[in-house]
Amino acid sequence: MARGHQREIGNFGQVDGMNILINCLFGQLAERNMLLAGSERQLQETARCLEAERDARRRLELRLQEEAGLRAVLHTIAILPGNVAFPSNRPFVLVLIDADADGYMFQKKFLDNNEDGGKEAADEMLARIKEYAKSLELDVDNMDIMVQAYANFEGLGKACIRRVKMKVNADLSSFASGLMKRHGLFKFVDVGPGKEEADERIRQALDSYINMELCKHAIIGVCHDSGYAPYLRKYATDGSTRDRITLLEGGPIHPSIAALDFKRTLKLDTVFAPLKTLATPSQGRKKSRKVLRLAAVHSSDRIPAIQRNRAGKRVDKPLQVDAGGEYVKTLVEANLCFGYHLRGKCDDRACGKKHTKTEHHLTDEAF
């Protein structure tokens, strides 16, 4: 009896020991989980810091490129036989282009030819700008032409495939390299993603150069974007700068920029691809007196009723949308694929738009 009682006590002691061991193991496991969670947070923080450093480095490289361009204009060194160098301060014409816009997309024949195409585009652009500068009675034989174009190469490459049918295997970076190699003062800069990146670079460049005595004229390719209108107003109202600025047309000039009343515009039809516009009926065409009865077809609570004529064809009312308004700006920033979000699918393999849910909340009016 006594021995059995002792055995029972021994068993209880073993169970208690096992419970203590298990509790210790659980405690150690919890500590390891806490350490692992802390390490994961540190890893995420390190990744964020690394991305911030990459962004800062990219911005610094862009700034250094722009400063190098300025130094090239102010201190051009001509190396002559006999290793004799003559510094010169030559006047120049400045050309700034927001190359992300459809209206400033280079022609297919240039893009398809990669680096050689870039050189050909540079030659054509230089010739046309010199021709225009002569019409302004500028001494083009004794001045430089400085071109600075800015774009997000990744997005622009997809857009070029989609709109001007650039070859899928064409290399936009190689094209840009050829353009810059051809003429030392030609720059085609990849600013990376972000709608405001190209805008900010163009503003900085114009502010830096336009008031310089050596800058005899500026040609600005930003006519598509109403966001430039408030910025350009200060130059439009200043007589000393207004007459030295030409708007480079890339499709229709936005009404808010046209209202600034700059005196000169320029088209480079031999450089940039033509921007397709919707066909409008001829004014001389005889109007039909046939009256079509419209029948409403309800599709959903979000979309208004669809109007169809007696033949069953869809008839849409003209949209009353301000091209520079809040809704359009929201949609542009969201970078949505309209076909995918409206029809539920996108058949364009080269589409560079978003096919996932967006963080931007779209109101019924924006939709």
Span 267-308, pLDDT tens digits: 999 999 887 654 444 444 444 444 344 444 444 444 455 666
CB 66 within 8 A of CB 209: no
Q: Is 232 left (phi over 0), alpha (psi -120 to 50) or beta?
A: alpha
CB-count burial class (<10 Å; 0-12, 13-18, 19+) for 100:
buried
- Tell me the average pLDDT across 144-158: 89
99 pLDDT higher than 80: yes
Q: What are phi and psi of 150, to 5 degrees?
A: -130, 140
- pLDDT for the residue numbered 180: 93
DSSP for residue 263? S
Average pLDDT, the chain: 76
DSSP reduced 3-state for 45: helix
| Burial 16-33, CB ≥16 within 10 A → b, else e | eeeeeeeeeeeeeeeeee
User: Lowest-pLDDT range, 65-79, 98-112, 244-258?
Assistant: 65-79
Could you report the per-residue pLDDT of 157-184, keeping only the tens digit for each?
A: 888 888 777 887 778 888 999 999 999 8
80 pLDDT higher than 60: no
- pLDDT for the residue numbered 325: 66
DSSP for residue 189? E
Q: What is the token pair recorded at 224? A: 């598509």
Label residue 131 by pLDDT band (50, 70, 90): very high
More confident residue, 345 or 71: 345
Q: Work out the percent of the chain whose per-residue pLDDT is above 90.
A: 29
More confident residue, 31 or 358: 31
User: Lowest-pLDDT range, 81-95, 159-173, 233-247, 250-264?
Assistant: 81-95
- pLDDT for the residue numbered 292: 40
- Tell me the average pLDDT across 226-250: 91
More confident residue, 316 or 295: 316
More confident residue, 291 or 32: 32
Label residue 338 by pLDDT band (50, 70, 90): confident
CB 185 within 8 A of CB 146: yes
- Tell me the average pLDDT across 197-219: 90
Identify the CATH assignment for 90-267 out of 3.40.50, 2.115.10, 1.10.3470, 3.30.360: 3.40.50
Label residue 155 by pLDDT band (50, 70, 90): confident
- pLDDT for the residue numbered 32: 78
- Tell me the average pLDDT across 236-260: 90
340 pLDDT higher than 90: no
- Tell me the average pLDDT across 307-321: 65
User: Lowest-pLDDT range, 55-59, 251-255, 321-325?
Assistant: 321-325
Could you report the per-residue pLDDT of 15-30, keeping only the tens digit for each?
A: 666 777 777 777 778 7
Q: What is the token pair recorded at 364? A: 């019924």
Label residue 216 by pLDDT band (50, 70, 90): very high
- Output the pTM of the full model: 0.55
- pLDDT for the residue numbered 244: 94
The whole-angstrom separation of Cα 248 and Cα 218 is 10
The domain segmentation of the chain, as residue ranges, is 90-267, 297-367
- pLDDT for the residue numbered 30: 75
- Tell me the average pLDDT across 334-340: 76
Q: Please, what is the Cα angle at 352 between 268 and 326, to 5 degrees?
A: 80
Name the CA dihedral angle for 239, 245, 249, 250, rounded to a multiple of 10 degrees: -120
342 pLDDT higher than 70: yes
